Amino acid sequence: MVMKTRENGSDPCRIQVIQLWWSRMDRKKKMVSINPYGKAKKLVEDIIMDFSKNSDMAVMVLRYFNVIGSDPKGRLARGIIIGLKVKGIDYKTHDETCIHDYIDVTDLVDAHAKALQNAKPHKVGIYNVGTGRDRSVKEFVEACKKATGVKIKVDYLPRRPGDYAEVFSDPTKIRRELNWTARFTDLHESLQIAWRWKNAHRDGYTAAS
């Protein structure tokens, strides 16, 4: 498990994940979680690895990044949710908001299918599922406004403890081993499709008769 980091004093300001979420390599090449979220993810992966040693079950681990979607009940458009809250506007990025990797849900489904096709007992596959492209939170908010045509109120708040300025994936391994590559990488188009579906299915799918 490897990671590239660019250090800014004692605080890494940019992380490109090669094999593991929300962690970094220390000077002794030991994996170190950068927050409780990352620690929990690493613990779960360790449990899965131990389980696979004594099981004939084929196991694949997919590390999702930021899946593009919409509020399940369309509450933002209906005015139930007043607006969006962006936490952190003082990062050393081009627009001072965090950088993330947004993955379309359709690509995510395809990654699951490829993982199932290639799953083998006693050989745990661990893969990042992302685009490898870095997009800021502010860019995402503007794409939401454009895709929905809704005047979204945005409150910019202080940053959350534990958040890094830039976190995005390196999907090289899943591309090489599973022949998977994200195809839907246009933020505006993905959000527009999601918004169109939500407007056509305000209450989700109806129960099968």
Residues annotated catalytic, as ranges? 37
> Smallest Cα–Cα separation from 164: which of 29, 9, 13, 52?
13
Helix (H) or strand (E) holding 85: strand 83-87
Report helix, strand or coil for 13: strand
Work out whether strand 83-87 and strand 31-33 pair parallel, antiparallel, or are unpaired. unpaired
Burial (0-12, 13-18, 19+ Cβ within 10 Å), 35: middle
Residue carrying structure tokens 């004093």: 9
CB 86 within 8 Å of CB 98: no
Give just the sign of the alpha carbon dihedral 197, 201, 205, 209: negative
Q: Hey, which residues does 16 pair with through a beta bridge? A: 4, 168
Distance CA 209, CA 206 (A): 9
Distance CA 7, CA 10 (A): 7
